[in-house]
Amino acid sequence: MSELSGRWIKDQIIPYLSPALKNILFELKEEYYSILEEIRLRCGKPLILKLGNKDYTVDCRGRVIEDLKKGYQVNREDIYRTVASISDSSLYAFEEEIRRGFITVPGGYRVGLAGQIVMQGDEIKTITDFSGICFRVAREIKDCAKPLVPYIYSSGTILNTLIISPPRCGKTTILRDLARIFSTGVHRSHSVNVVVVDERSEIAGSFRGIPQLDVGPRTDVLDSCPKAAGMIMAIRALSPQLIITDEIGRREDVEAILECVNAGVSVISSIHARDLNELEKRPLFGELLRTGAFRIGVVISRREGPGTLEEIIRWD
Amino acid sequence: MFAKVLGTAFIMAGFGGWGLLGARRIEKRVEQIKNVRLAMGFLEKEITYMHTPLSRALERTAKFCKPPVSHLFRESADRLKAKNGSTACEAWMSGIKVIGKTSELKRSDIEILTAIAPQLGMSDAGEQRKIFTLIQEELRIQEESALQEMESGRKLWSYGGFILGALVVILLL
């Protein structure tokens, strides 16, 4: 997969950090930003940058080092100021996002939050006393899914496809690119209406309902919408030809997929599993595969970097 | 003789004017506390019902109220919009500094406004509502006590200035 410009990522993320962290990370070379996957702030612990597959820290002079003990220690003020900055000092405006554990900032970057969880009955009401923040860099890599298109798109039909991989292998990036490709049109006249049911705001990286990442001109996004309800709502209201959703996992998701498939709508989704064997061992998904709802399985890994195509499985 | 009359008139007008200004200051304080209270109600609605981001909510509140109360909200909004790492608390405190210099509010009034600073914007809408209800209630009490002060103080200042002027004239004569 190709990589986003380091400068772009630097300009997008740095303004959200506390002034002390800003000063340190501003000194960092752009080449580090181009392979940056995560920035983790934990109260009283060293600042951690995930560069590629490895964790590093940064010392007070902005040097990237491996020894975490020598790294800059994040303090409560860093956390408080960073939370204030990402929320524009308006936590009340992000209640729903905080309840789900993350805030998406302009640019589509997801900021995960940790802290004291306040419950109301059986449900999470909010998070207070923030203790940890995780910036995940959203990778928009155009055409990364192009090699998959000949398998998924056959004689004018988009085949129902399941992308199988463990976490952090590039599933979401591939789904986003597939949405863009099919929405724009594989060939000039073969564009379709796409609905992205984006339960965790990761595919389209929506900020206040507006997709921040390119999902194509004929794509509607149901942001923060539960997958099962979103798929049914999309069929009724938005007449899609293709529905794309991330990380199916519950029985209602499986039922909604069957509903879509039997309504003549193509579905592309992803699921966590190392390979097909592992997936078949899970009773719910073994059952789903046996229904023949999905025609193509795509197994990806990180063997040669995120998005390494391991296997294409045909179920027809 | 003419110089004496002129001098007396100047002294009386000077002290009288000073007294009247003092009386006006007391009146203005009541008016400004009321304006702050109404502005707080407006800001509360922006935050709890509209969920408007704080910098924009403060900006809109500044447009809603009259100077010098608007200076508090304008300065806080500008500081937040500058995106220079300031928290809502720091932005609010900078607004309070400005209103402290440009208004007739007393230290006790300013203290009520200062109390809200650490919590401003940094909790959910329910919590924010509680904070705003409390501060508006405190401002209402402050307004009532300022009104009582005004009732007695206004006469004292307006007549007091002229009486003091007359006393000075008598002493000089």
Task: Say what the pLDDT of residue B6 is.
Answer: 87
Within 8 A by CB and 6+ apart from A119, the residues are A125
Distance separating alpha carbons of residues A85 and A13, to the nearest angstrom: 11
Burial of A187 (0-12, 13-18, 19+ CB in 10 A): exposed
Give the model confidence (pLDDT) of A129-150 as tens digits. Answer: 999 999 988 778 888 999 999 9
Q: Say yes or no: A85 contacts chain B, CB-CB below 8 A.
A: yes
The interface predicted TM-score (ipTM) is 0.77
Does B42 fall in a domain?
yes
Q: Say yes or no: A19 contacts chain B, CB-CB below 8 A.
A: yes
Residues of chain B with pLDDT under 50: none
Phi, psi (deg, nearest 5) at residue B158: -65, -45
Does B159 fall in a domain?
no
Q: Say yes or no: A90 contacts chain B, CB-CB below 8 A.
A: yes
Band of residue A4 on the pLDDT scale cut at 50, 70, 90: low
Band of residue A2 on the pLDDT scale cut at 50, 70, 90: very low
Considering only CB atoms, B53 lies closest to which of A19, A88, A98, namely A88
Range of the domain at B38: 30-143
With an 8 Å Cβ cutoff, are A89 and B122 in contact? yes
Mean pLDDT of A191-220: 90
CATH 3.40.50.1000 correct for A146-314? no
Total number of domains constituting chain B: 1
Does B6 fall in a domain?
no
Q: Which residues of B fall within a CB distance of 8 Å from A95?
A: 51, 124-125
A27: tokens are 């000194």
Task: Say what the pLDDT of residue B75 is.
Answer: 94
DSSP state of A160: P
Q: How many cross-chain Cβ pairs, A to B, lie less than 8 Å apart?
A: 60
Task: Say what the pLDDT of residue B8 is.
Answer: 85
Task: Say what the pLDDT of residue A1 is.
Answer: 41
Does B90 fall in a domain?
yes
Task: Say what the pLDDT of residue B83 is.
Answer: 74
Distance separating alpha carbons of residues A16 and A79, to the nearest angstrom: 11
**Which residue is listed with tokens 């900032």?**
A105
Considering only CB atoms, A22 lies closest to which of B85, B123, B127, namely B85
Which of B51, B122, B128 is the mutation pick for testing A, counting most A CBs within 10 A? B122
Task: Say what the pLDDT of residue A3 is.
Answer: 47
Task: Say what the pLDDT of residue A46 is.
Answer: 95
With an 8 Å Cβ cutoff, are A89 and B54 in contact? yes
- Indicate the pTM of the whole model: 0.76
Which of A89, A124, A125 is the mutation pick for testing B, counting most B CBs within 10 A? A89
Q: Say yes or no: B167 contacts chain A, CB-CB below 8 A.
A: no
With an 8 Å Cβ cutoff, are B122 and A19 in contact? no
Does B61 fall in a domain?
yes
**What is the least distance, in Å, from the CA of B7 to any CA of chain A?**
60
Q: Which of A39-48, A54-63, A204-213 has the highest mean pLDDT?
A: A39-48
The yes-or-no verdict on residue A189 having pLDDT over 70 is no
Q: Which residues of A fall within a CB distance of 8 Å from B120?
A: 89
CB-CB contact of A141 with A216 (8 Å): no
**What is the least distance, in Å, from the CA of A17 to any CA of chain B?**
8
Phi, psi (deg, nearest 5) at residue A255: -65, -40
Burial of A316 (0-12, 13-18, 19+ CB in 10 A): exposed
Q: Say yes or no: B48 contacts chain A, CB-CB below 8 A.
A: yes
DSSP state of A148: G
Lowest mean pLDDT among A66-75, A241-250, B83-92, B134-143: B83-92
Amino acid at A154: S
Q: Say yes or no: A89 contacts chain B, CB-CB below 8 A.
A: yes
Does B71 fall in a domain?
yes
Higher pLDDT: A188 or A118? It is A118
Q: Which residues of B fall within a CB distance of 8 Å from A85?
A: 83, 85
With an 8 Å Cβ cutoff, are B53 and A93 in contact? yes
Question: What chain A residue is nearest to B84 in terms of C-alpha separation?
Answer: A19
Report strand pairing: A157-158 vs A153-154. Answer: antiparallel
Q: What is the CATH number of the domain that holds B139?
A: 1.20.81
Which of B58, B87, B131 is the mutation pick for testing A, counting most A CBs within 10 A? B87
Band of residue A283 on the pLDDT scale cut at 50, 70, 90: confident
Report strand pairing: A161-165 vs A219-223. Answer: unpaired
CB-CB contact of A135 with A39 (8 Å): yes
Nearest partner of A245 among A200, A192, A205, judged by Cα: A200
Question: What chain B residue is nearest to A87 in terms of C-alpha separation?
Answer: B53
The boundaries of every CATH 3.40.50.300 domain in chain A are 146-314
Q: What is the mean pLDDT of chain A?
A: 89
For A6-136, CATH gives 3.30.450
Q: Say yes or no: B139 contacts chain A, CB-CB below 8 A.
A: no
With an 8 Å Cβ cutoff, are B123 and A128 in contact? yes
Distance separating alpha carbons of residues A220 and A198, to the nearest angstrom: 10
**Which residue is listed with tokens 């863009």?**
A180
Give the model confidence (pLDDT) of B119-146 as tens digits. Answer: 999 888 999 999 999 999 999 999 999 8
Lowest mean pLDDT among A47-51, A88-92, A251-255, B157-161: B157-161
The yes-or-no verdict on residue A197 having pLDDT over 50 is yes
